[in-house]
Amino acid sequence: MLNETDILPDGLLEAKATELLDLLGTPTLIHLQGEKPEPLFISTLLHGNETTGFYAVQQLLKEYQDKPLPRAVSVFIGNVEAAAVEQRRLDRQPDYNRVWPGTRHDNCAETDMMTNVSNIMRKRKPFASIDIHNNTGLNPHYACVNILNPHCIQLAGMFGSTVVYFTSPRGVQSAAFSDFCPSVVLECGQSGQADGVSHSSRFLQAVLNTEKLSSEHPVHINLFHTVARVTVPEKFSLGTDSSTDIHLNHELEKMNFEQLARGSIFAGLNPESNAHLVVTNESNEDVTSEFFETRDSKIALKKNATLSMYTTSERAIRQDCLCYLMEQIHIG
């Protein structure tokens, strides 16, 4: 299932993400030599409709067509089948960012592949790992870490001042690589936006030219901790109008990374339905009653919470979640 190569495939730097299935045929791990042997690992297209990472890699590598890379680079290009049809994943596929070592997902060809990629890279002793994503809803650019390691925090702080710490969901690439190198996720706004490509490409360039990561925490970061995930049970319909079981609040898409006060209306409900949202914590325990209460056919927050990744896209919600709930934390 995995194609591994030490040669940059012909046409890769000119291809569109939708053309990669024809060009590569399968998920591909590309190793390129550089002046420093410890590679920068870059993961792209784990979600086929999140293209910023791939185009940032193209932009980066084009700059080194006629000169050596400052350090070795290993690029993993993931779900080329889903990219061909501009989808996060195909219905028959697992989520490519839920099947890495540490996953709760049943063993399958994809979990075997991600274990293989992890083992290959562990032996190469990466300098750092960067996994690049996009959001469906409106969000600022931010970086995520899975451990509060100074090197990971420093790496995230190089991308921007907003950093998110999360330990759930399980089976994500960044968590798997955090076991053996500094590892971050970049969330680069919505797919197709030029500023996401340029921002992430500049970041890759900066990391590529970094001699070593500091062991000091960056001073100027806003650090958030993801404490809960909000999902919609399959049996309930959802939308932004009153004809559905759950009426989503479109205005909340503009409030990602803003704190909502206790009592804020999160969603409306069809009074003839027993519809509800489900909130799970980092241990996958149901904590819905801790965060939400229902009154007058509305779901309201029981405590202050900061949103991230809130979206009203039904397909995105069904394949992942409605949003995450966060709290701000401070580190010394």
Helix 194-208 vs helix 52-62: angle between axes, to the nearest 10 degrees? 50
- Of 220, 246, 262, the domain-final residue: 220
According to the model, what pLDDT value does residue 241 have?
85
**Are residues 203 and 256 both part of a single domain?**
no
For residue 268, pLDDT beyond 70: yes
**Is the pLDDT reported for residue 108 higher than 90?**
yes
pLDDT(216) > 90 = no
Instruction: Please check whether residue 50 is in contact with residue 88, taking contact to mean a CB–CB distance below 8 angstroms.
Output: yes
Structural domain ending residue among the three candidates 185, 220, 255: 220
Q: Is 172 found in the same domain as 31?
A: yes
CA-based end-to-end distance of the chain: 44
Residues spanned by the domain of 237: 227-329
| The domain boundary residue, chosen from 160, 190, 220 | 220
Average pLDDT along the chain: 95
Q: Identify whether residues 202 and 231 lie together within a single domain.
A: no
In a shared domain, residues 8 and 127: yes
Q: What is the pTM of this model?
A: 0.94
* Pair of tokens at residue 166: 């999360």
Q: Give the confidence band of 60 by pLDDT, cuts at 50, 70, 90.
A: very high
Closest residue by Cα to residue 278 from 321, 238, 332: 321
Looking at the chain, list the stretches that DSSP marks H as alpha helix, in order from N- to C-terminal side. 20-24, 52-62, 80-84, 109-124, 150-159, 173-177, 194-208, 288-291, 314-319
CA dihedral of 217, 219, 221, 223, whole degrees rounded to 10? 50
217 falls in which pLDDT band (50, 70, 90)?
low
Percent of the chain's residues with pLDDT above 90: 91
pLDDT tens for each residue of 167-195: 999 999 999 999 999 999 999 999 999 99
Residue 130 sits in a domain whose CATH number is: 3.40.630.10
Q: Do residues 284 and 323 both lie within one domain?
A: yes
81 with 166, same domain: the answer is: yes
pLDDT of residue 331: 75
pLDDT band at 219 (very low <50, low <70, confident <90, very high): low
What is the pLDDT, as a whole number, of residue 151? 93
pLDDT in tens, 113-167: 999 999 999 999 999 999 999 998 889 999 999 999 999 999 999 999 999 999 9
pLDDT computed for residue 332 by the predictor: 62
Smallest CA-to-CA distance from 51 within 205, 188, 204, 203 is with 188
Are 133 and 7 in a shared domain? Answer: yes
- Run of H or E including 25: none
Same domain, 258 and 131: no
Domain check: are 78 and 160 in the same one?
A: yes
The answer to whether residues 87 and 164 belong to one domain is: yes
Number of domains in the chain: 2
Residue 53 phi/psi, 5° resolution?
-60, -45
